[in-house]
Amino acid sequence: MDFFVNGEAATVSADIRTSLLDLLRNHLGLTGTKKGCDQGACGACTVLVDGERINSCLALAAQYQGRNIITVEGLAANGNLHPLQEAFVEHDGFQCGYCTPGQLCSAIGMLDEAQRNIPSVVTRDLTTASITLDETELRERMSGNLCRCGAYNGIIEAISEVLIEQPAESKKRRASA
């Protein structure tokens, strides 16, 4: 099977029943993506496929051949953390770190969904031209990612700072620090 993961092509010989999560971890050595519940309930295995977030534990790897798969290892560029990764550190958006890779990928996918005007269950105006990502929207959209340590406030603060509240300003603040 041929895959495109974190900007690199990979050919893998795996059973047709292999989940995308197991392919990433066991065949490609990308252990950042975590196996939490293995039932799609915790979000620890969230990755991006063509920019959309999915639970990789529920996905058959064969379905994602030739598509652009991004794991937490693919978020950093040129040895520099993604701004959202930096913000998780600054805002204590993690404790043990187990859920962090899924939280990061989910947040990036969530922003794309909102920019494409995909409503959530709490979206107030379904006719609006753009969805406002306030704290209620963020919490609802991130609710599929569990944090057993309870770092939710730091996670929401990090996401708000980097992805919603003037990303250019927060990048400037980090660069001058």
| Residue 106 CA: distances (Å) to CA of 46, 116, 123 | 6, 15, 18
Q: Return the CA Rg of the chain.
A: 16
Using the structure block, give the residue that is written with the tokens 């409503």: 119
- What pTM was estimated for this model as a whole? 0.89
pLDDT band at residue 130, thresholds of 50, 70 and 90?
A: confident
> How many angstroms separate the CA atoms of 156 and 76, rounded?
20
The residue among 84, 102, 110, 103 whose CA lies nearest residue 167 is 84
DSSP string, 68-128: EEE-GGGT-BTTB--HHHHHHHHTT--SS-SSHHHHHHHHHHHHHHHHTT---TT-S-TT-
Instruction: Quote the distance between the C-alpha of residue 121 and its chain's center.
Output: 20
> Using one digit for the tens of pLDDT, what is the confidence trace for 58-115?
999 999 999 999 999 999 999 899 999 999 999 999 889 899 999 999 999 999 998 8
